[in-house]
Amino acid sequence: MNNKILKIKDLDYLELKYSRSFHECSQKHYHNLICFLALKKGTAKIVINEKETILDENTLVVINPNEVHYSISSDFNEDYYVIYIDRSWYMNLQKLTYKTEDTLLLPNKIVKKRYLDSFFALFEFLNSSNESIKKELLLLDFFKEIFTMYCKKSEVVKMDNTTQIAKDFKEYIENNISSKLTLSKISNELGYSPYHIIRVCNQDFGLSANAYIVNKRVHRAKKLIADGFDISKAALEVGFYDQSHLTNVFKKVFAITPKAYQKEIEKNED
């Protein structure tokens, strides 16, 4: 099996991914998630906020919410594991733990065997037939260990601390995601010059205006597919030209085709 996607019905803020080998995600993107990545053998290169991080068998890589990244595979690697956790659940956990509205930053690279071992044990337990509450308790224990060692209140994730133009742009895209968007149209609707919008997107989101829109579209499409939408309908619903266009972007961002992702989701429901 090359790819396995697991969603846990009672823990809908979680998604697990296993691949026999690491498949690169060549397109710059970000997630409204926190992601933990590990490899059993070999290496891969992850570029996070323009800084290179090497994923190997001794390293747990963390991608914080909204961190722009892409990845490059090496010639040899085996057994790639990912745990994706919804941003809202994660932010609430930190809020309750530290009494803060900020999302505290975790390091992108954790090189301690105990945490890597804890990650693999957690993955296997979450992928088992154990009760959901037991799975959640182990997940909370994992975060307690990580938070105690690495969380500092002085280091926070840049989330919604953006300029008004960026907020207006973000809201407009959210409300018009299925439309055929152009920079001229957006500029006219918002009352800002196209050059200002271009500059602000790069500054506040770390992506070009077009890349930001495509990132929003592909993540929305993924959610629709997970909710049971037909792939071609999901593509049109979020503003892609057709299913082929969605498939091309989806594979570059998630390292799996929409069809393969859909099949894995359907297996979870059997």
pLDDT tens readout for residues 169-193: 999 999 999 999 999 999 999 999 9
* Alpha carbon distance 110, 107 (integer Å): 7
Residue 270: predicted pLDDT: 60
Please tell me the predicted confidence (pLDDT) of residue 190: 95
Distance CA 213, CA 49 (A): 18
Range(s) within the chain of domains with CATH label 2.60.120.280: 3-150
pTM above 0.85, yes or no: yes
pLDDT of amino acid 58: 95
Fold of domain 3-150? Jelly Rolls (2.60.120)
How much is the pLDDT for 144? 94
The pLDDT value recorded for residue 159 is 60
Q: Which pLDDT score is estimated for 160?
A: 58
Cα separation of the two ends of the chain: 18
CATH of region 164-269: 1.10.10.60
SS3 string, the chain, reads CCEEEEEECCEEEEEEEEECCCCCCCCCECCCEEEEEEEEEEEEEEEECCEEEEEECCCEEEECCCCCEEEEEEEEEEEEEEEEEEHHHHHHHHHHHHCCCCCECCCCEECCHHHHHHHHHHHHHHCCCCCHHHHHHHHHHHHHHHHHHHCCCCCECCCCCCCHHHHHHHHHHHHCCCCCCCHHHHHHHHCCCHHHHHHHHHHHHCCCHHHHHHHHHHHHHHHHHHCCCCHHHHHHHCCCCCHHHHHHHHHHHHCCCHHHHHHHHHHHHC
Write out the residue limits of the CATH 1.10.10.60 domain(s) in the chain: 164-269
Q: Which residues of the chain have pLDDT under 70?
A: 1-2, 158-161, 269-270
